[in-house]
Structure 1
Amino acid sequence: MVSRHIYLQLLFRIVMISLTALGSGFFFFGAQYMLAGLALILLFFQTVFLIRYVNQTNRKIAYFFDAIKNEDFTLRFPEKLSVKSLEELNHSLNTLNTMIQDIHLKKQAQEQYYQEILKQADIGILTVNKKGHILYSNPTVERLFNYQPLNHIKQFNQIDKKLYELFAALKPFDNQIYQLTNEREKTQLSLKATPISIDRQSLLLIIVQDIRKELEEKETDSWVKLIRVLTHEIMNTITPITSISESVLKYFKDDKQVLSAEEFNDHHVKSTVKGLEVIHKQGNDLMSFVQSYRTFLSVPEPDKELISAHDLFEKVVLLMDGQRKESTVNVIETKIRPEDLLLFIDEKQITQVLVNLGKNAQQSLAEQEDGRIQFLAGIDDKNKKYIQVIDNGPGIPEDLIDEVFVPFFTTKNTGTGIGLSLSKQIMRLHGGSIQVTSREYTVFTLTFD
């Protein structure tokens, strides 16, 4: 409606100017100079009024946009004017101003709401631009680092030089663990970086979380599991020894008196020998168990070198071929992408890990006719090298999958249960990790940082 009234006003004024100009020409060429002069004067005033009308409209619109730009919503235009088109224009501008003000207030309320959430969050949040300027940091970050205000990552130099180096080298999707030490305590911090873009500016959103409590709970849980397994193994070994010792002792004592040699018979001697043999065997089993524990605790530091993934897999498959005849595995397949992939590892230790995983896979496929084992090597989307051992066996029960890396835990009748925990220890010394999933296939993934 506003544009229609303005359009009609402009059209009317232009038509009048055009008619006045034609009249002025007509009177001039008709030698009616007085009328021609009056027409020119009228043409001048019409042109001035047209310019004033257009400037008045443009000035109002310009004032309106300047006020919006400066977030000034107090600007109001009079809505009772003699000119209908300007009156409707003012009314529309005032209505639009009110709508934008409402949207702005809602946006501010929403921003304050999110700001309050970030302030109350238990995790630290900060955003950093490419030049290292910290554009935002919530109070939790300042509390974790005991430093405020945070304006640039160079300030971390005053906390710890290694912390600054860590932030300076942080890249999108990085996940780092940092131990912050002060006079009172040590704090384990997890740092996760995520790229974001705001107003066409590339920023890094960094989440800082104190994981000390989680690590302590994890450590306690691991100790409980380990003690439970140790207790189970030791009790299984000691119980027969105690029972047999008690039975053999009865052959030598009666009513707290030691029997004489004449009172023994062949049955007592044979039973004693059998009991001692069982005690000897149980003692050896306990010694083997303790030796396994010592092996787990004394894994040497890796002697790393660049090894071809192809040569590594070739060696592992060759070592597994000796037991392949006793299993139902039809295929042991290897895939490497890229084919010339090199791994910076201790070849002996990683071979031990892969052979152990391969043997476990063979044992799980013992009663399956179409058994298949795959060894895969490649580079993941985070540019980290990995090895996967995959089998199509029955899988690991869901309630046991969290227990498989606990030392001495085993679901088999034979073995010490040290293999997977030893594999995890070796991967930890390599600065990597080992994980397992068991759904349609059982997949052990070795990731090298």
Structure 2
Amino acid sequence: ERQAWRRLIRVLGHELNNSLTPIQSTTDTLQALLHREPRPADLEEDLDRGLQLIGSRARALGRFIGGYSKLARLPPPDLAPIAVGQWVRRAARVETRVPVEVSPGPEITHEADPDQLEQVLINLLRNAADAALETGGGVRVTWQAHADGVEVLVEDDGPGLARTDNLFVPFFSTKPGGSGIGLVLSQQIAEAHGGTLTLENRPGAPGCLARLRLPGLSEPRMP
């Protein structure tokens, strides 16, 4: 636990420094330009660029803090029966950048928090679509019923994972502009349901496979 806290503090310090350092540097530069005599001919252009940079870093810092707040305030699941097929299809319709193929599984209901699980699946599909866009591939999602619960599988035709050790580290992201929050939040939601979320490279094919496992009995959905 102590190691986890130390790692989190390092990440927090790193991200805060990444935003505050350019803000301070740009502020100092703009102040120097304003006090220079005679004023540079392109002063307005420099001011505009500097203010845009300050605004960009401030917004990034805001997203970072907002993401941290989400992790700290995750409420316990509000369980209710959900139709698994409807949940999967609804989340798949949200992703419009690449084709999402839904392979139907058994029509079952499962006790879970519908809002939280929808957020998890939307995050997984968004990540899969981001990867598929790099290669022009597609995304597939399906679900299976097991004796001890239900499993949702999301796979993509992207380039695959270069490394997996940082996937669930808060605020770590390999994507430009990424917050590093989506997967961490999704894992927390899965664990709050007593389940697991794992990501791995697809065996024998390029791309990634995400497995969301939720424990508990699933009932056949009544027509």
TM bucket (normalised to shorter chain) is 0.7 to 0.9
TM norm structure 1:
0.43
| Percent identity over paired residues | 30
Cα distance, 1:420 vs structure 2: 0.3
Highest Rg: 1 or 2?
1
Identify the match of residue 73 of structure 2 among 293, 298, 301: 298
Shift in alpha-carbon separation, 1:335–1:275, aligned structure 2, 3 A: same
- Is it true that 1:311 corresponds to 2:86 in the alignment? yes
2:103 is equivalent to residue 340 of structure 1? no
1:443 maps to which residue?
A: 209
What is the Cα-based RMSD across aligned positions, in Å? Answer: 2.4
Task: Give the aligned partner of residue 6 of structure 1.
Answer: none
Q: 1:375·1:390 contact (CA, 8 Å) conserved in 2?
A: no
Query: Match of 1:366, SS?
Result: helix
TM-score norm. by structure 2 comes to: 0.83
- Residues 140-179 of structure 1 mapped to structure 2, 5 A cutoff: none
Measure the CA separation in 2 of the matches of 1:244 and 1:289: 20
Cα distance in 1 for partners of 2:73, 2:10 equals 22
- 2:47 aligns to what? 272
SS in 1 for 2:179: coil
The residue aligned with 2:160 is 395
Quote the residue 2:29 is aligned against: 247
Show structure 1 runs of 4+ deviating over 3 A.
Answer: 262-270
Matches of 1:374 and 1:342, distance apart in 2: 17
Task: Tell me the secondary structure at the aligned position of residue 402 of structure 1.
Answer: coil
Q: Which runs of 5+ in 1 are unaligned?
A: 1-218, 254-258
Compared CA separation, residues 310 and 270, structure 1 to 2 (3 A)? closer
In structure 2, distance between residues paired with 1:414 and 1:352: 20
Q: Could you report, residue by residue, the CA deviation over 1:348-397 in whole angstroms, capped at 9, with x for unpaired residues?
A: 110110111011111111133443412223215xx233222222332112
Deviation, structure 1 residue 447: 1.9
User: Which whole-Å CA distance do the structure 1 matches of 2:117 and 2:182 have between them?
Assistant: 12
Unaligned runs of 5+ in 2: 216-223
Q: Distance in 2 between matches of 1:314 and 1:384?
A: 19
Q: Is the 8 A contact 1:307 1:344 kept in 2?
A: yes
Q: Which residue of 2 aligns with 1:430?
A: 193
Instruction: Supply the distance in 1 between the matched residues of 2:135 and 2:39 (Cα, whole angstroms).
Output: 55
Matched, 1:235 2:17: yes
One-letter code of the match for 2:194? G
1:407 is aligned to: 170
How many residue pairs match? The answer is 212
1:55-109 CA distance string (max 9 Å, x none): xxxxxxxxxxxxxxxxxxxxxxxxxxxxxxxxxxxxxxxxxxxxxxxxxxxxxxx
Of Structure 1 and Structure 2, the greater helix share is in 1
Could you tell me how far apart the structure 1 residues matched to 2:102 and 2:48 are?
51
Q: Which amino acid aligns with 1:285?
A: A
Distance 1:429 1:271, change over 3 A: same
1:111-164: CA deviation from partner (whole Å, max 9, x where unpaired): xxxxxxxxxxxxxxxxxxxxxxxxxxxxxxxxxxxxxxxxxxxxxxxxxxxxxx
